[in-house]
Amino acid sequence: MLYAHTVADVRAAEAALMAQVPPGSLMRWAAAGLAAYVREVVPGGSPVVFLVGTGDNGGDALFAAAELARERYVAVAPVDPSRVHGPGAEAVQAAGCRFVDSPRGFPVVVDGIVGIGGSPGLRAPADAWADVIAAERPFVIAVDVPSGVDVDRATLPASYLPADATCTFGTFKNALLVDPAASQAVRGALPRVVDIGLGPFLPPPSVEALTAADNRLLQAVLRSTLDTRGAHPTQKYTRGVVGVAAGSAAYAGAAQLCVRGAQAGVAGMVRFVGEPALAARIVDRCPEVVAHTDPEERGRVQAWVVGSGGGDDAAARLHMALEDEVPVVVDADALTHLPERLPVPALLTPHAGELARMLDVSRDDVEADPLGHATRAAERWEATVLLKGVRTLVVHPGAPTRVNLTGTPWLATAGAGDVLAGLAGSFLAAGASPRDAGSLAAFVHGAAAVAASGGGPLTAGRVADAVPAVIGAWHNGTLDESHLRDWRDR
C-alpha cells in the first residue's frame, strides 16, 4: 500500500522524531536523499539550478546543491537573497555554487521554492520563473511537492510549478497521489519517497493506494468464497449472487456490459432483472445469467447493482434493490434518486458529471476539487463514494480515502463504467465491504484495461474479458507492477 499523510500529521511526526535526534538531522537526511535522486534521474554532468525558497524546503535544496556541486555545475537562485536558510547558504558558498536570479537557460531545475509550508500559488519572483520554465521546458525536479499546489486538498491554484519528477520525504502527500494536482503537477513516474524515519510517528494515512503487492485484501475476500475445507465448502451460492437491475430499451448495451463486468468478477452467479425483451437479449449473449422479468420473482442475491443505463426505470430498480436489505452499487441514473438515508451499505459510483448533479454544483467544481466533493457526498449519504476519473477515488466516511493508480487513458471509453459497476457488485456479493469492493474493482478494472489495451484503443467489453486473468494473477502474486499503469500516455 502507498500512504499519503496530511501536512499537520507530517509536522507532528517530524516534531516527535526531531525530539529524539540531533538538530538538523532530518534536513541532512532529506537533502542526501534528494541529491541521490537528482543523480539518478539526471545522470551525467548536466548543469542544475536550484530554486530556493525562504523556508526549510529551500534548506533541503541548498544542502543537496552543495553536495552535487562536487560533481557538476550547480547554481542557486534564491527567491529572497535576504531570507535563505543560514547553514544551507553557508554550505553552498563553501561548495562554490554560483548565485543567479533566474532558471533561464538551465536544462535541469530543482524546485525548492516551497514544500508543505507553502500557501497555494506562487509569489514573485517564483511566478515569473514558472513562466520561464513553461517557455523553455527544462527537466524539473520538485523537492517534497511541486511548489504552489494545495498539498492537502490536491487542488491547483492559478500558478504552480509542474514537475517532471518529485522527491518527497517520509510519506506521500495527498497532492502527489490525488487529482487534479497529481496528474497536472506531478508528471512522469510516481514520486520517490525518501525514508527519513518518520514511519513510527505517523498516524493512519489520509489517502492510500493499492499496489500489485497488496493482494491480501483480495485473498481475504476469496478465502471465504473459495473455501473447500470449511463447514460450507464452495458452491455457487457461497461465492455470492449478484443481482443486476440495469439498462433500458435505450441503453440495452449498458445492461450487457454491467452483466459482463459482474460475470467477470468473483461472484458465483449473476441474476438479471429487467423487461422481457432486454432480459432475452442478455440471456442470448450471456447464457449463464438467470433472468427475471417479474421483479416480484427476482430470487435472492447478496448484492445489487442498479442504475447503469437505467433510464426511466432507475428509481423503481433502486427502490426494489433497497427492499432486499443487501448491499447495493448505485450507478448512473439511479444516483439522482437516492433517498435521504440509505438503509443498506452502499457504494455510489458517479463520474464527475453525476456527482455534480448529486451535489447541485457544476462539473468544473467537482473536477477542480474531486477529493472535497467526493468527501462531501460520502458524508451527506453516509455511504462509500467511488468517484470515477483518471485516478478514481473511493471515499468512505472516517476511513483513509483510496485512490486508484491502475489504468490507461484508453479506458475512457463508452461502457467502461458499466463494467466497473458490475465488477464492484461481484465483490460486494462475495462479502467485501463497499469500500473494499470499490477499491478492488477499480484496481482490477484499471489493470484489465492496461492488459487489454496493449497500448492501443479499447472497448469496454474487452476490459471485462481481461478481468478474470488479472484477478487470477493478483490473487496468486504474479501481477507485475509495471503492467498496471500506462505511464507513457499520462
Ligand X SMILES: NC(=O)C1=CN([C@@H]2O[C@H](COP(=O)(O)OP(=O)(O)OC[C@H]3O[C@@H](n4cnc5c(N)ncnc54)[C@H](OP(=O)(O)O)[C@@H]3O)[C@@H](O)[C@H]2O)[C@@H](O)CC1
Ligand Y SMILES: Nc1ncnc2c1ncn2[C@@H]1O[C@H](COP(=O)(O)OP(=O)(O)O)[C@@H](O)[C@H]1O
Which stretches of the chain bind ligand X, using CB under 6 A? 10-11, 14, 26-27, 30, 53-58, 60, 113-119, 121-123, 126, 143-144, 169-170, 196, 198
180 binds ligand Y (CB under 6 A): no
209 binds ligand Y (CB under 6 A): no
When CB distances are held under 5 to 8 angstroms depending on the partner's kind, the choice from ligand Y, ligand X, none that residue 183 binds is none
Output the nine-digit C-alpha cell for 305: 447493482
Please state, in angstroms and rounded to a whole number, the distance separating the CA atoms of residues 111 and 115. Answer: 9
Q: Cβ(167)–Cβ(192) under 8 Å?
A: yes
Nearest to 23 by CA among 69, 68, 59: 59
438 binds ligand Y (CB under 6 A): no
The set of residues, in sequence order, having a beta carbon less than 8 Å from that of 283 and lying 6+ positions away, is 272, 289, 291
How many residues touch ligand Y (CB under 6 A)? Answer: 17
When CB distances are held under 5 to 8 angstroms depending on the partner's kind, the choice from ligand Y, ligand X, none that residue 327 binds is none
418 binds ligand Y (CB under 6 A): yes
435 binds ligand Y (CB under 6 A): no
When CB distances are held under 5 to 8 angstroms depending on the partner's kind, the choice from ligand Y, ligand X, none that residue 55 binds is ligand X
- Is 271 annotated for ligand binding? no
The set of residues, in sequence order, having a beta carbon less than 8 Å from that of 294 and lying 6+ positions away, is none
From the CB of residue 56, how many other CB atoms can be counted at a distance below 10 Å?
21
179 binds ligand Y (CB under 6 A): no
- Is 173 annotated for ligand binding? no
- Smallest separation (angstroms) from ligand Y to the CB of 254: 7
Strand 98-99 and strand 139-143: pairing?
A: unpaired
Nearest to 141 by CA among 36, 240, 69, 54: 36
- Is 390 annotated for ligand binding? yes
Q: Which of the 8 DSSP states describes residue 246?
A: -
- Smallest separation (angstroms) from ligand X to the CB of 81: 14
The strand ranges marked E within 308-412 are: 328-331, 346-349, 384-387, 393-395, 401-403
Please state, in angstroms and rounded to a whole number, the distance separating the CA atoms of residues 423 and 412. Answer: 17
Q: Is 173 helix (H, G, I), strand (E, B) or coil?
A: strand
- Smallest separation (angstroms) from ligand X to the CB of 73: 24
When CB distances are held under 5 to 8 angstroms depending on the partner's kind, the choice from ligand Y, ligand X, none that residue 420 binds is ligand Y
For ligand Y, the binding residue among 27, 374, 420, 451 (CB under 6 A) is: 420
Nearest to 354 by CA among 323, 314, 382: 314
When CB distances are held under 5 to 8 angstroms depending on the partner's kind, the choice from ligand Y, ligand X, none that residue 407 binds is ligand Y
Q: Which residues are annotated as a binding site?
A: 254, 309, 351, 388-392, 417-418
Q: Which residues are annotated as a binding site for AMP?
A: 388-392, 417
Interface residues toward ligand Y, by CB under 6 A: 351, 388-390, 392, 407-409, 411-412, 414-418, 420, 445
